[in-house]
Structure 1
Amino acid sequence: MVAPLKVGIAGLGTVGAEVVRLIETQGRVLAGRSGRGIRVVAVTARSKAKKRAVDLRGVEWVKDPMALATHPEVDCFVELMGGAGDPALSAVEAALNAGKSVVTANKALLAKHGLKLAKAAEKHGGALNFEAAVGAAIPVIKTLREGLAGTGINRVYGILNGTCNYILTRMEQEGLSFAECLKDAQRLGYAEANPSFDVDGHDTAQKLAILASLAFGTKVAQSAVYVEGISSIAPEDLRAAADLGYRVKLLGVAVRTAKGIEQRVHPTMVPKSSSIAQVMGVTNAVTIDGEGIPPITLVGPGAGGAATASAVVADIADVARGIRANPFGRPISHLRDTKKAPMERHEGGYYIRLLARDFPGTAAAIATRLAEQKISIESIVQRHPNGGTASANGKAVPVPVILITYATHEDAVRRALAAVQRDKVISGRPQVIRIEKN
């Protein structure tokens, strides 16, 4: 009989405890699918005294992650501590260098040190599995690495942060401000006390860097991702988007262009008819555009203990089966360098919202500046506040003007709007949101 796979788990928070529970309750099913049993033999966490809703009797408690990573009885080291540095980094390195397989949900670790860890796995023969690091229960890693191994990928994009999607959903459906929705997300536990990592787009950027490597054979590099967050989005942008047939989402987009791989995270208008536009609340989704096939959209819970643990256990089952895929889909020597693509070269449609001063010649001045940059307008909407153009004291009130452009270059948009501001025909800063077509 084949000996069971002996697992050591570092980190017993919500996810770690759920992994222990799943291995215990689904043991017979896992053994049937994997061809061998799977058993948790040792664990470690910050506090041994903390009460947990799992039975750890018969499981060895190890003093620290490094001791667990090098434990002679552990075949598969599961890292669920988080963080891009130690103790996670040293422990994962130690396990891989000892020839053990590693399963992790740590996107920060992979975005920063993924190449070094993949090289160690390749050298010493262990697996490095990380399905739970991107999209939790959505099997996007395995889809890109294995399911579409014979398909050229042109674009991969998606909603990779549930906090941002929840906020934008509430803003759209209830007409609330960003600040109001963020406060509610924090109350419900969807956003951290310091939410900047999520709402400024950095969480999405880490996940996108991993997906881009798998899709295009590039080295994982979070520094190559252009990043914008959602704090500038206002309810009027969402109302205008709805009227124009769009919905606003924070997307991570990696796309093959004639000038290289473009990786970007920013608020994006997507057609309401698209699959990605239907994804609301804390749900995540990833769309993959491959050569010769229609777009594939994977939708599911992108966070949460049960969803993340499900993906972790699936990775452990692959280790038990003896599957050893290249972590990023190709040998490390075949991965290409990548650098940040200047957003000035980005080409696409744009939503532009201006507060135009209600003076003679304002519209002509805006049109002239756009024409100078060869920007063509697909649609234009003027919204007079309260049905008029004057305030109670008789002074002119700026009129919101919304423009949708045909495909153009970002540097042209920036030059045109800078000229419009110099002309002093608008108030405040223009709002610009990129449009992503199907």
Structure 2
Amino acid sequence: MSQLGHNIGFVGTRFAGTDGVSLEAAKWAKLLWDHRHVSYWYGGKLDTSPEISMLVPHAYFGHSDIQWINERCFGQVSRDPEVSRRIFALADHLKRKLYDFTRKFEIEIIIVQNAMTIPMNIPLGVAIAMFVAETNFPTIAHHHDFYWERDRFSVNACGDLLRMAFPCTLPSIQHVTINSEAQRALSHRRGVSSILVPNVLDFDTPPPGMDDFNADFRESIGIEPDDILFLQPTRVVPRKGIEHAISLIGALKNPRCKLVISHESGDEGDEYLHALQEMAENQGVQLLYIPERIGEERGYNENGQKVYLLSDAYLHADIITYPSLYEGFGNALIEAFYYRKPALVNRYSIFVSDIEPRGFDVITMNGYLTRDVISKVRRLIEDTEYRENMVDTNFTLGKRFYSYAVLRRKLRTLITNHTGMDDL
């Protein structure tokens, strides 16, 4: 233990890249570090410093042995004994590595990031459950998306293991949920309470502005200076409802309106992308699909084209489209507030229960486009004062409800519950 703070171990399948779990874990670690706590990392895929990390390849859900298990556990109704044997053999290996991790870095509290929530790696979840059962280790389980929220896990041959470890409900575990719907479901299904900690952004630090690198973003992707850039800052998967963004732009009948999709097609194939491209063509909507131009770092791709950050795309956007059918939280919407961009939102359930009541000023739709929605978007384009009032309101509310200050207060409670000391 350090003299002033605590050694905290983050445990998960992956802490690398720009997925939501990795990004939120990094924010937690930053605030803990600001308050003298030192973070260490255990995972199967890491971009953290080797000096403070323990890379355990079988902790990664993409490992071939884990994929082999998943193929035989999901979409099946019975489990071969060999599958069970491999699960527990790998769980034992991963558990021993957890013992090594906590000893090597003198860890005092572990923060499990989604590895006890969604069963992408069953042996890891089982390993953590057994480790906590054997040690009564102070544990914070940060839950991003539960298996019961995903259709692909509904038919399975591992219900016994899901009830055991996803999540495990031992007394030394504090549970954290990111929305009130998950909080209620966890209480109903597992009989445990949780602390609600929303995803946050650093509203106290202004977003980066235009610079020499990003100034040509529009020109580089084929957008004219006076075009109206509608940004869909998400992956291309059906639950994002991107067809509504295309229909909206088609209904505006304004050739200056262009739709830009920033992220790649998801892991469910390219059929949805092709359907969207065909729909855009039929409606005369210019759709720019540019995942090869947005990266985790600025640079150049193999074709010699500039690769920008997502923040660069936000800076050049005029309107953010977010017509999702379902979201665990809604990071892109909070990002729109942070970058002071107006947004169109389909009223997905978490928006209705957790975000909308805060008073944010967005254009909303209820699963379908109406004339009223289209006329409000038209006003956004034409009325500068209307647009400025909207984004100013949203930034102020975002700072109040989804800033680092909110996360800092929540982390203080979580750490104090384990240590008995108000040391954050």
TM-score higher than 0.5: no
Q: Which structure carries more helix by proportion? A: 2
Greater relative contact order structure (CA < 8 Å, 6+ sep): 1
TM-score by length of 2: 0.35
TM-score by length of 1: 0.34
Q: Which structure carries more strand by proportion? A: 1
